[in-house]
Structure 1
Amino acid sequence: MNHIVSADQQDWTAAYEVEVASVKHARRGVRDQLCEWGWGPDSPAVDDLAMIASELVTNVVLHAAVPGKNVVVRLHRTEGCCRIEVLDGRPDLMPQTALLPREEGGRGLLLVRSLSAAMGVERSGGDKIVWAEVHHQGQLGAVA
């Protein structure tokens, strides 16, 4: 299950167990928090950020699980933009491999890249942070 670590007018952090069920919990948590901040539930940016959360948490579950460590999802919003970060306990980067046309998997980061204005990977201590930024079209609730 998930545990909300912190939430305020600009930042939200939640920790999830590294298991398949956490993908839907992270997606729902991101969507709920964005709506709490005043992003409309039908906003394409909300859909994009929820999809990005799904893809990045799935990558942790499938490729970056570390025993005893949770996957952490963070949102940071500024006027017109939201940055999503997913932290796992592995500092190493997965090598990119060539995709075969009929392979079912392996396109998650391509999808994230296509949905975001920017994305990247950073290391912080012993953790890896994969992040993406999505711009919001329209009016946001005021950032305090």
Structure 2
Amino acid sequence: MAVADPPQTVRYQLSLDTVPASVPAARRGARAELAARGLDADHPLTDTVLLVVSELVTNAVRHAAPRSPRATLRLDFSARELTVRVHDRHPHCPRPPEVPHEDGSGGWGLSLVHELAALSGGLVETVADPDGGGKTMLVRLPLDG
């Protein structure tokens, strides 16, 4: 019996300065890569992915920049799943608060990312770097055929 090759994964990666201008740059790069993979503006997952990218890169800019002058956006495409990863070198591994901060100081974006992933049948993980000096926010979203 032959063993099937594992599904191919196509990766897109973009290194970003942790500055506000990187948020729209990340969205533009992600939008172009989604379109190149057949997920155009009308695909039901496109808006979700772009919002997830915006929120995760914004968090890196707002919270990680003092310790991480750069962040990396990576999109991994397989036959069944799209994985969005944003890595920075700040050691804090955030968790969404039960309720976003009432003063508007935070918590809304990460809560939104978790909600969008859940609505899409996906999940969110925070993966610490092996050396404890950074982390990757990882969002797995299923692709419908």
TM-score scaled to structure 1, two decimals? 0.80
RMSD: 2.3
Question: In the TM superposition, what are the counterparts of 1:24-103 in structure 2 within 5 Å?
Answer: 24-66=24-66, 69-94=69-94, 97=97, 98-101=99-102, 103=104
Unpaired runs of 5+ in structure 1?
A: 1-8, 140-144
Deviation of 1:68 (Å): 6.3
Unpaired runs of 5+ in structure 2?
A: 1-8
Deviation of 1:71 (Å): 0.9
The answer on 1:17 being equivalent to 2:13 is: no
> Cα distance 1:96–1:31, how it changes in 2: closer, same or farther (>3 A)?
closer
Give deviations 1:73-120, integer Å, cap 9, x for gaps.
Answer: 001111131000000111222465553456364211111111111111
Cα distance in 2 for partners of 1:55, 1:109 equals 7
Q: Answer 1 or 2: which has greater strand percent.
A: 1
Aligned amino acid, residue 12 of structure 1? Y
Structure 1 segments (4+ residues) deviating >6 Å: none
Cα distance in 1 for partners of 2:73, 2:40 equals 21
The answer on 1:112 being equivalent to 2:118 is: no
Highest CA radius of gyration, 1 or 2? Answer: 2
User: How many residues align structurally?
Assistant: 131
8 Å CA contact 1:80–1:136 kept in 2: the answer is yes
TM-score scaled to structure 2, two decimals? 0.79
Cα distance in 1 for partners of 2:87, 2:81 equals 20
Aligned amino acid, residue 128 of structure 2? R
Percent identical pairs in the alignment equals: 28
8 Å CA contact 1:122–1:129 kept in 2: the answer is yes
Deviation of 1:45 (Å): 0.8
